Amino acid sequence: MKITIFGTGYVGLVTGTCLAEVGNDVLCMDIDQKKIDQLNQGVIPIYEPGLEAMVKENYQSGRLRFTSDAKMAVEHGLFQFIAVGTPPDEDGSADLQYVLSVAKAIAEHVTEYRIVVDKSTVPVGTADKVKSLIETALTARGVDIEFDVVSNPEFLKEGSAIADFMKPDRIIIGTDNPRTTELLKALYTPFNRSHERIIDMDVRSAELTKYAANAMLATKISFMNELANLAEHLGADIERVRNGIGADSRIGYHFIYPGCGYGGSCFPKDVKALERTAKELGYQAELLGAVERVNERQKHVLFNKIHQHFNGQLKGKTFALWGLSFKPKTDDMREAPSRVLLEALIDAGVTVQAYDPEALAEAKRIYGNKAGLVLCKTQTEALNNADALCVVTEWKNFWSPDFAQLKLKLKAAVVFDGRNLYEPKQLKAAGLTYYCIGRPVTSSVSG
Ligand SMILES: NC(=O)c1ccc[n+]([C@@H]2O[C@H](COP(=O)([O-])OP(=O)(O)OC[C@H]3O[C@@H](n4cnc5c(N)ncnc54)[C@H](O)[C@@H]3O)[C@@H](O)[C@H]2O)c1
């Protein structure tokens, strides 16, 4: 089938590549000419495991092509996927300017039947907006061309995006037109082989389903972080509590890890946008507001522990920081807790020596030559002359460091762990003081 994808970011590039992988003829369009040039030269602008090889293979086969030409893009695909960003506006609502500009481009160039498939995460009612924008533009052009607008939200996770797309938990198709449902079902047949994964519904429910999923996951995280903070006051160990509640199959072990807050391009903005949607309708979404506030507070928890440990005497100190991306296996630093911590440390006069396996280039892009920030090529280099170590992202490379070496290197012999990666007893035995989330502090000094 002929498919056009607008937007070659984390979602668009993965979607286009996976659809080409199963034999479709895919044209990806982006307004970012630099990105398109890079892709045409075989340079993948993002880090996503397995993506580079798959893009190259499909590019070479001719099934996957890249352009910045909107007209060519609209002429190409029966399916016109919208996979552009929907960042938060100043008031927290989703900024739809990129989605609507794609709709405009489609309306301007369309000459025959098209199915506009919205994959971006958009507020309920956006499909209606896209539809009326295209209708108005077609009327202005004086043409009568049939089209449909479908909501097909994406649930892939950065870091395992290809596997998630190739073997999705579910494929949500939101449309009020049964013919379009059938066409999309046909498109998704290769991803629906082992069992039925397609759930079709009306457009508005499909749009809400995406927000509901992200809000639910964010709620689980904030709930655990709230309890972790409480556990610290109570002298309880949240890791034991986590095991204790996870054993209940109604709760389960997924997504109940306490930490230094969630980040990324989705949870923060989607929770805010859903709350904003509710507000616009005159409904106060109490829980969503709390989820957001708990998370914002949680991003400061590590800094508060650091500040307290050093009695506020941070000026002139050097800290190693392991992990910049908002989660492992991605270079995405959007809303990453690492940013809140490193900025607070630098503001307090600390030199931060940061290391990340994949996000160094992204950190450089964001911070340039920011005073107080040193980007290190290895995790060991980040420890040189450091007083303390902070771990913010649970990359596998950080799971089992040489604690004896840490003790030798860290002048203040203290580790602040925002992901509860280590066994407190082990650090204590190595002579390190260990702070993590929701567990008692283990100090090498107190014996
Ligand atoms: N990143 C994720 O893990 C994820 C998962 C599920 C859903 N989503 C949703 O998918 C959407 C895209 O997210 P992303 O992370 O891929 O965004 P991204 O920022 O990585 O990529 C967006 C791309 O769209 C391009 N673009 C902007 N306007 C354009 C236009 N008019 N025509 C063509 N291209 C245009 C940008 O240049 C950019 O390359 C968002 O709504 C997001 O919430 C993201």
Quote the pLDDT of residue 447: 41
Q: For the segment 249-260, what is each residue's pLDDT rounded down to a tens digit?
A: 999 999 999 999
Locate 363 and state its tokens.
């950190």
Quote the pLDDT of residue 206: 98
Cβ contact 184:150 at 8 Å: yes
What's the average model confidence in pLDDT over 232-246? 97
**Of residues 258, 390, 216, the one with CA closest to residue 320:** 390
**Closest ligand 1 atom, residue 270 Cα:** 43
Cβ contact 191:197 at 8 Å: yes
Cβ of 265 below 6 Å from ligand 1: yes
How many C-beta neighbours within 10 Å does residue 229 have? 18
Rounded Cα distance, 234 and 230, in Å: 6
What's the average model confidence in pLDDT over 14-27? 98
**Closest ligand 1 atom, residue 269 Cα:** 43
How many C-beta neighbours within 10 Å does residue 157 have? 15
What's the average model confidence in pLDDT over 93-101? 96
Pocket test for ligand 1, best of 5, 8, 11, 271 (most atoms within 8 A of CB): 11
Q: What is the residue-averaged pLDDT of the chain?
A: 97
Cβ contact 299:330 at 8 Å: no
Percentage of the residues of the chain whose pLDDT score is greater than 70: 99
Q: Is the pLDDT of residue 446 over 60?
A: no
Between 203-234 and 267-280, two packed helices, what is the crossing angle to 10 degrees? 110
Rounded Cα distance, 52 and 283, in Å: 45
Cβ of 8 below 6 Å from ligand 1: yes
Confidence of residue 445 (pLDDT cuts 50, 70, 90): low
Q: For the segment 339-366, what is each residue's pLDDT rounded down to a tens digit?
A: 999 999 999 999 999 999 999 999 999 9
Residue type, position 379, single letter: Q
Exposure string of 165-186, with b = 16+ CB inside 10 Å and e = fewer, is: bbebeebbbbbeeeebbebbee
Catalytic residue list contains 266 = yes
Quote the pLDDT of residue 443: 87
* CA-proximal residue: ligand 1, atom 1 (nearest): 10
Residue 199 backbone phi and psi in degrees, to 5:
-120, 110
CA distances from 80 to 126, 143, 185, 360 (A): 16, 19, 15, 34
Cβ of 217 below 6 Å from ligand 1: no
Q: Specify burial of residue 78 (Cβ count, 10 A radius: 0-12, 13-18, 19+).
A: middle
Confidence of residue 444 (pLDDT cuts 50, 70, 90): confident
Cβ contact 242:443 at 8 Å: no
Cβ of 85 below 6 Å from ligand 1: yes
Cβ of 54 below 6 Å from ligand 1: no
**Of residues 52, 121, 50, the one with CA closest to residue 83:** 121
Quote the pLDDT of residue 395: 98
